[in-house]
Amino acid sequence: MKIHRCILLACVALTAISHASRDLSAAQKRPNIIFMFTDDHATHSMSCYGSKINKTPNLDRIANEGMLFENTFCTNSICGPSRAVILTGKHSHLNGFLQNGNKFDCGQQLFPKLLQKAGYQTAIVGKWHLGHGGVSDPQGFDYWEILQGQGPYYNPPMIKNGEKVNHVGYTTDIITDLALDWLKEERDDEKPFMLMFQHKAPHRNWQPSPKHLTMYDDVTIPEPDNLFDNYEGRGTAAHQQDMSIAKTMTASDLKLTPPRNLTPEQRAAWDAAYEPKNEEFRKANLEGKELIRWKYQRYIKDYLRCVASVDDNIGRMLEYLDETGLAENTVVIYSSDQGFYLGDHGWFDKRFMYEESYRMPFLVRWPGVTKPGSRSKELTSNLDFGETFLDIANVDIPSDMQGVSLKPLFDGSAPKNWRQSLYYHYYEFYEDRRSAHMVRRHCGVRTPRHKLIHFYNLDEWELYDLKNDPREMTSRYDDPAYAGVVEELKAELARLQNVYEVPDDSGSVSKSPPSLKPRPARPAQKKQPRNANRNKPANKKAAQK
């Protein structure tokens, strides 16, 4: 009897200890974060966003098991600046990286540094694109291995914690191998981790992997309805850009010349795939619209082949998380630095505030938090990503970060005071010399219904009614029926410039972009739900029209 009682007591004690340790470990077990990031991946080439031209089963899986954000937009649609905004949670005019070619100052406050300080093990693998060497080398990471600048699609030299290393193979596969190696070999089981897993693909010039060289060979990809856009109804900037499929694409973009850095084996596979098709093209002597149609097919197939490789490799990462049980306590996020024109308006590239290059994919899977298959329509931005990661990790969000945590949206709720407008500013245009793709500087504001764009060096405005004209074919700026909307949005743009501390000279008719220094960081505030209250427009009616 006595023995029986002892066993019973021991069992009770053991149960209590096990409950206590489970509670403790749950409290200690802050979620891991994997930020999967690509370059120039437009939402209209993801089947979970309704793509009519391809399938992305692994990205769809993240959406099906988590939450898809329908209205996430970048603050400045170009590679380096988008990354700088994410790392700092500050607009370009404050983080100092206004355009590609600027040198990023990693000495400033970055969200990975804050996570590292809070006990997270941090790593970045893949495309960095913020310069390297000295103050531009990644800071806040226990491990970093990055491409130099854009990096090639094949055989990329990389920089690992400051040392140059060479790799042979296809870059999207290599970046995934390195990320998986880090998880398998370097990860500290005692700490939560934050991994930035960042691909070069599907950036120009869209070189497919050996596995996907002939994918789509036997199909015709549907053309966008405005492939032959003549830019009537829009201003000077849309007419003067240099990013059209018709005029801008080079022989290398179109794979009429092969990449120069392939191994003999890679080159043989490449030529076997492209040469017969190129021969057929040369014989056909296409002209006019038929030539543009051919260029579109060549471009879009290569772009989608690169996307297919990204999707496969994301599948590899998801499988690894499943196999190791890491999936359960890891927040998986997918995004891309901005969108891209997939023949829309006759274009490739990005930069403009028009929807196709302005919108970013944003998927979040957090088991037990995001509801499988849920969607959010709220206005969200890359300005919010760093704040969101800090909030996921339960780390205080410094008051000088300008975005808001998106965590309050993860349960599917739509907070009543959520922001009703977003601010945009693109800088990369020189008045006195040639600029890449010749897209004029512009700033603007987008609400759920409307978009106002100011090409200030041209002194031209454009207004779009996104409900009646989702393809943005006709500016309504001079339409008297929209005079009230114009007035309200101009006031809202001015209000946002004030809220975000945009210097007066960044919107002026200056010849070259301002080189603004980031402002000193203010001390961190106690963590509080930083919802979008402060971004509420002065006149809510304007935003809801």
Q: How far is the CB of 38 from Ca ion (least distance, A)?
A: 8
* CA distance linking residue 213 with residue 358, whole number of Å: 29
Distance CA 84, CA 100 (A): 10
Cβ atoms within 10 Å, residue 491: 15
Q: Which of 405, 406, 402, 396 is nearest to 524 (CA)?
A: 396
For residue 207, the minimal CB distance to Ca ion (Å) is 16
| CA dihedral angle for residue 247, residue 292, residue 204, residue 223, rounded to 10 degrees | 140
Nearer to Ca ion, 39 or 137 (CB): 39
460-465, strands of its sheet edge to edge:
422-426, 442-446, 450-455, 460-465
Tell me whether residue 337 or residue 356 sits nearer to Ca ion (CB atom): 337
Number of residues that bind Ca ion (CB under 5 A): 4
CA distance 295 to 99: 29
Identified binder of Ca ion from the candidate list 35, 37, 40, 388, rule CB under 5 A: 40
| Least distance between Ca ion and beta carbon 363 (Å) | 18
Q: Which stretch binds Ca ion (CB under 5 A): 49-57, 72-80, 242-250, 465-473?
A: 72-80
Max Cα–Cα distance, the chain, nearest Å: 98
* Residue at token pair 């927040």: 331
Rounded to a whole number of angstroms, the minimum distance from the CB of residue 82 to Ca ion is: 7
Which residue, 80 or 513, is less far from Ca ion as judged by CB? 80
Judged by CB, which is closer to Ca ion: 32, or 76? 76
Is 68 or 79 the residue whose CB approaches Ca ion more closely? 79
* Least spacing, CB of residue 360 vs Ca ion, in Å: 10
| Contact status: 349 vs Ca ion (CB under 5 A) | no
Residue 307 near residue 202, CB atoms below 8 Å: yes
Contact 152, 258 (CB under 8 A): no
Binding region for Ca ion (CB under 5 A) out of 85-93, 105-113, 336-344, 511-519: 336-344
Report the residue number, 138 or 235, with the smaller CB distance to Ca ion.
138
Q: Which stretch binds Ca ion (CB under 5 A): 32-40, 273-281, 286-294, 304-312?
A: 32-40
Q: Could you tell me the smallest distance in angstroms from the CB atom of residue 335 to Ca ion?
A: 11
Residue environment code for 324-334, b if the CB has 16+ CB neighbours within 10 A, otherwise e: eebbebbbbbb
Both structure tokens of 201? 């693909």
- Residue 130, SS3 per DSSP: coil
Of 77 and 244, the one with the shorter C-beta distance to Ca ion is: 77
472 Cβ partners below 8 Å, 6+ apart?
Answer: 234, 354, 355, 451, 464, 466
At residue 513, what are phi and psi to the nearest 5 degrees?
-60, 145
Binders of Ca ion among 77-96, rule CB under 5 A?
79
Number of neighbouring beta carbons within 10 Å of residue 427? 22
> Which span (34-42, 145-153, 371-379, 453-461) binds Ca ion, by CB under 5 A?
34-42
Neighbours of 519 (CB within 10 A): 14
Decide whether 129 or 407 has the Cβ nearer to Ca ion: 129
> Is 285 in a helix, a strand, or coil?
coil
The residue within the footprint of Ca ion, chosen from 60, 337, 391, 465 (CB under 5 A), is 337
Residue placing its CB nearer to Ca ion in the complex, 42 or 452: 42
Instruction: Select the span of 35-43, 247-255, 277-285, 388-396 touching Ca ion (CB under 5 A).
Output: 35-43
The tokens describing 60, both together, are 């769809």
Sheet arrangement for strand 359-360: 359-360, 72-73, 380-381
Within 466-513, strands assigned E span: none
Residue closer to Ca ion by CB (options 112, 339) is 339
In the bound state, the residue with its beta carbon closest to Ca ion is 79
Shortest CB 541 distance to Ca ion, Å: 35
- For Ca ion, the closer of residues 337 and 465 by Cβ is 337
Name the nearest CA neighbour of 138 among 152, 150, 126, 151: 126
**By CB under 5 A, which span of 131-139, 254-262, 303-311, 332-340 interacts with Ca ion?**
332-340
- Given a contact cutoff of 8 angstroms between Cβ atoms, the answer to whether 338 and 362 are in contact is no
Contact range with Ca ion by CB under 5 A, out of 38-46, 67-75, 369-377, 402-410: 38-46
d(CA 399, CA 237): 37
Nearer to Ca ion, 39 or 492 (CB): 39
Q: Which stretch binds Ca ion (CB under 5 A): 36-44, 48-56, 422-430, 437-445?
A: 36-44
CB of 350 to Ca ion, least distance (A): 6
Site string for Ca ion, 291-330 (x = CB under 5 A): ----------------------------------------
Question: Under the criterion CB under 5 A, does residue 39 sit at the interface with Ca ion?
Answer: yes
- To Ca ion, the closest distance from the beta carbon of 110 in angstroms equals 19
Q: Are 170 and 98 in contact (CB under 8 A)?
A: no
Give residues in contact with Ca ion (CB under 5 A): 39-40, 79, 337
